[in-house]
C-alpha cells in the first residue's frame, strides 16, 4: 500500500514537469479545436508552422502532422516526448523530439542536425532498434515529417543547424593505414567500450547509460554479416562522420578535437577489419597479409601523424 505513494508522486511530478516543459517551450497558442482530434483529457498538441529544406523540396509541418500522428506517434508520442503507447516495450527508447538531441548528424557534436540529416535518417531507419526504414514515403512526405518533428522543441527556433563537417577524399586502403588505425583505436581507448576485437564488450561496456539514464551497449562491429551497417549509415564516409561528430545523447563521444582528418581515415580502415563477416577491401588486404596487422611504427619526423597516411602513395622505404 505504501508503495502506491511514491508512484503517485512520480506521476504528479511528471505531469508538473510536462506542463513546465510546455510552458518553457513557449507553446502558448493552442490549435483550433477542429484541427486536433480529442486526445482524452490531454491538452491539444501544440502546433506551429515550421519548414524543412531538402534539396529543392520544402517540407511543411502542417502537411507532416497527419502522417506523424498515424505512423510515428505510436512510438514517439503525440507530444514528441518519446512516450508513445509502444515506447514502454522498446529498447533503445524512441527519440525524444522535445530535447532535439540526435544521433545521426553530419554536424559537430552538440549542434542540431541538418534537415538533410533527418531526412536521410527517416529513410534509412536505425539498425539494431525498432525505428523502421521509412522508404515508402515520397520525398515530399519525408520532408514534411522533418518539418513536423521540429514543432516539438524550441531549439529549432533559437538555433541554426550545425555546419556539415568536411570529409576529405579517402586515401587508398593499405596495410599501413590499417596498422595506424589499430594504433589509434588503442591510443584513443575506443576498446574500453567497444572491446579489443570490437565486439562491444570492453571493460566499460556494461556500465554505460544514455543521456536519459537508459542502459546502452557499445556498437558490436563483429556481430552482423556481410550486410552489416551502422545506425548512421553504411559507407566509409558515414563511419568517418560517426566518430568525428559523435553519437549525441550517448556515451559515444566526438573525436573531432583529437584526430587529424587523414588519421581518421586510417581508423575507418581499421574499424572495417573488425567487421569480420563483411566483404571489404580492408578485409581483402588483411587476408592477403595472412590476417596479421603489423605493429605500427611511428615515424620520427617530429609530427605525430605520419605523412604516409595522407593522400600520397605509401612509401616503400619502411620495409
Ligand atoms: C516502432 C517504433 C517507432 C516508430 C513507429 C517510429 N520510430 Fe522513430 N525511432 C524509434 C526508435 C526506437 C528510435 C531510437 C533508435 C536509436 O536510438 O537507436 C527512433 C529514432 C528516430 C529519430 C532520431 C534519429 C537520430 O538521429 O537520433 C527520428 C528523426 C525518427 N525516429 C523519426 C521517426 C518518424 C518521422 C517516424 C514516423 C514516420 C518514426 N520515427 C516512427 C522508433 C520508432
Ligand atoms: C565511452 C564509451 C565509448 C568510447 C570510448 C567509444 N565509443 Fe563508439 N560507441 C559507444 C556507444 C555506447 C555506441 C552506441 C551508440 C548507439 O547505439 O546509439 C557507440 C557506437 C559507435 C559506432 C557506431 C555508430 C552507429 O552509427 O551505429 C562507431 C562507428 C563507433 N562507436 C566508433 C568508435 C570509435 C572509432 C571510438 C574511438 C575513437 C569509439 N567509438 C569510442 C561508446 C563508446
- Tens-place pLDDT, residues 233-254: 999 999 999 999 999 999 999 9
- For a mutational test of ligand 2's pocket, the pick from 91, 183, 218, i.e. the residue with the most ligand atoms closer than 8 A to its C-beta, is 218
Within 10 angstroms of residue 192's Cβ, the number of other Cβ atoms is: 13
For residue 146, count CB atoms less than 10 angstroms from its CB and return exposed for 0-12, middle for 13-18, buried for 19 or more: buried
As a whole number of angstroms, the distance between CA 224 and CA 221 comes to 7
User: Which of the four pLDDT bands, split at 50, 70 and 90, describes residue 49?
Assistant: very high
Model's pTM, two decimal places? 0.85
Q: For residue 58, which phi and psi values (nearest 5 degrees)? A: -110, 125
* Percentage of residues in the chain having pLDDT higher than 70: 81
- The CB of 298 under 6 Å from ligand 2? The reply is no
Quick one: pLDDT at residue 3?
43
- Name the nearest CA neighbour of 25 among 146, 145, 113, 155: 155
- Nearest atom in ligand 1 to the alpha carbon of residue 130 is 12
Q: What is the pLDDT of residues 187-243, one digit of tens each?
A: 999 999 999 999 999 999 999 999 999 999 999 999 988 888 899 999 999 999 999
For residue 312, count CB atoms less than 10 angstroms from its CB and return exposed for 0-12, middle for 13-18, buried for 19 or more: exposed
- The CB of 123 under 6 Å from ligand 2? The reply is no
- The CB of 255 under 6 Å from ligand 2? The reply is yes
- The CB of 134 under 6 Å from ligand 1? The reply is yes
- Nearest atom in ligand 1 to the alpha carbon of residue 104 is 26
Tell whether the model's pLDDT for residue 60 goes beyond 80. Answer: yes
- The CB of 250 under 6 Å from ligand 2? The reply is yes
Ligand nearest to C-alpha 217: 2
- The CB of 99 under 6 Å from ligand 1? The reply is no
CA atoms within 13 A on the CB side of 260: 12
Contact call for residues 112 and 161 (beta carbons, < 8 A): yes
Beta bridge pairs of residue 58: 53
- For a mutational test of ligand 2's pocket, the pick from 117, 193, 265, i.e. the residue with the most ligand atoms closer than 8 A to its C-beta, is 193
Beta bridge pairs of residue 53: 58
- The CB of 232 under 6 Å from ligand 2? The reply is yes
User: Which domains can be identified in the chain, with CATH numbers?
Assistant: 46-158 (1.10.760), 175-311 (1.10.760)
Quick one: pLDDT at residue 155?
97
- The CB of 231 under 6 Å from ligand 1? The reply is yes
Amino acid at each position: 500500500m505504501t508503495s502506491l505513494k511514491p508512484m503517485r508522486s512520480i506521476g504528479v511530478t511528471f505531469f508538473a514537469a510536462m506542463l513546465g516543459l510546455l510552458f518553457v517551450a513557449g507553446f502558448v497558442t493552442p490549435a483550433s479545436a477542429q484541427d486536433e482530434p480529442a486526445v482524452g483529457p490531454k491538452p491539444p498538441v501544440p502546433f506551429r508552422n515550421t519548414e524543412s529544406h531538402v534539396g529543392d523540396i520544402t517540407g511543411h509541418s502542417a502537411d507532416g502532422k497527419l502522417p506523424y500522428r498515424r505512423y510515428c506517434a505510436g512510438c514517439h508520442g503525440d507530444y514528441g516526448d518519446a512516450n508513445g503507447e509502444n515506447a514502454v516495450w522498446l529498447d533503445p527508447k524512441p527519440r525524444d523530439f522535445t530535447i532535439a538531441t540526435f544521433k545521426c548528424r553530419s554536424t559537430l557534436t552538440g549542434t542540431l542536425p541538418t534537415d538533410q540529416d533527418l531526412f536521410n535518417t527517416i529513410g534509412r531507419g536505425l539498425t539494431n532498434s525498432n525505428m523502421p526504414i521509412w522508404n515508402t514515403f515520397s520525398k515530399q512526405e519525408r520532408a514534411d515529417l522533418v518539418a513536423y518533428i521540429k514543432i516539438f522543441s524550441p531549439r529549432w527556433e533559437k538555433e541554426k543547424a550545425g555546419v556539415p563537417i568536411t570529409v576529405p577524399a579517402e586515401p587508398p586502403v593499405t596495410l599501413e593505414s590499417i596498422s595506424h588505425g589499430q594504433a589509434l583505436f588503442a591510443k584513443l581507448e575506443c576498446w574500453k567500450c567497444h572491446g579489443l576485437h570490437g565486439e562491444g564488450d570492453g571493460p566499460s561496456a556494461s556500465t554505460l547509460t544514455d543521456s536519459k539514464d537508459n542502459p546502452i551497449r557499445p556498437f558490436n562491429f563483429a556481430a552482423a554479416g556481410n550486410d552489416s551497417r551502422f545506425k548512421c549509415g553504411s559507407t566509409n564516409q558515414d563511419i568517418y562522420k560517426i566518430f568525428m561528430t559523435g553519437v549525441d545523447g550517448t556515451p559515444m563521444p566526438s573525436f573531432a578535437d583529437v584526430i587529424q582528418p587523414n588519421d581518421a581515415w586510417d581508423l575507418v580502415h581499421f574499424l572495417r577489419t573488425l567487421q569480420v563477416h563483411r566483404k571489404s577491401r580492408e578485409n581483402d588486404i588483411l587476408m592477403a597479409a595472412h590476417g596479421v596487422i603489423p605493429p605500427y611504427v611511428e615515424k620520427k619526423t617530429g609530427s605525430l601523424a605520419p605523412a604516409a597516411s595522407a593522400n600520397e602513395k605509401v612509401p616503400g622505404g619502411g620495409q
